[in-house]
Amino acid sequence: MIANSALDTEGMHPRAWDILIRTPALFYGAYVIFANRVGTEHGWSFWGGSTVVAPAALTAIVAETGEEIMQATLDYESVERARDSLPLLKDMDIDFTLRELKRVSEGHLSEND
């Protein structure tokens, strides 16, 4: 994710972005790399905070508020482990899904389905 996020008067943007970048990491069991602008321009203060979030929404690296070069090694086994533990996949019933997709493709759904 690439952002151009400046601070608002209550400092809400960093907290909002923290939630936004952790959600897909948790939901998909994937790494999320967030890059944000730093410095000031035309009265706006850009807060930095570039982050690498590992699968399961664990923070791997967080940049400081100034310019910084970050380096991260991605562990693909942690992606597999995170995805194996996702409730979305554990709860999946492929037979039910296929049955319902077949009903949809054959047009057997009523208006209330």
Domain assignment present for 110: no
Structure tokens at 43: 């009265």
pLDDT (mean) for 45-60 = 87
Q: What is the pLDDT of residues 58-108, one digit of tens each?
A: 777 888 777 889 888 999 999 988 888 877 766 778 888 899 889 888 886
Domain assignment present for 65: yes
Question: Could you give the percent of the chain with pLDDT greater than 90?
Answer: 28
**Which one-letter DSSP state was computed for residue 92?**
-
Q: Please give the residue range of the domain that contains residue 8.
A: 2-105
| Whole-prediction pTM | 0.71
Comparing CA positions, the residue from 91, 9, 21 lying closest to residue 51 is: 21
Structure tokens at 95: 């037979």
Domain assignment present for 111: no
Structure tokens at 58: 């664990």
Task: Provide the pLDDT for residue 111.
Answer: 55
pLDDT > 60? residue 55: yes
Domain assignment present for 112: no
Total structural domains within the chain: 1
Domain assignment present for 93: yes
pLDDT > 70? residue 113: no
- Quote the distance between the C-alpha of residue 8 and its chain's center: 22
- Mind giving me the DSSP string for 17-69? HHHHHHHHHHHHT--EEEEE-EEEETTEEEE---EEEEGGGEEEEE--SS---
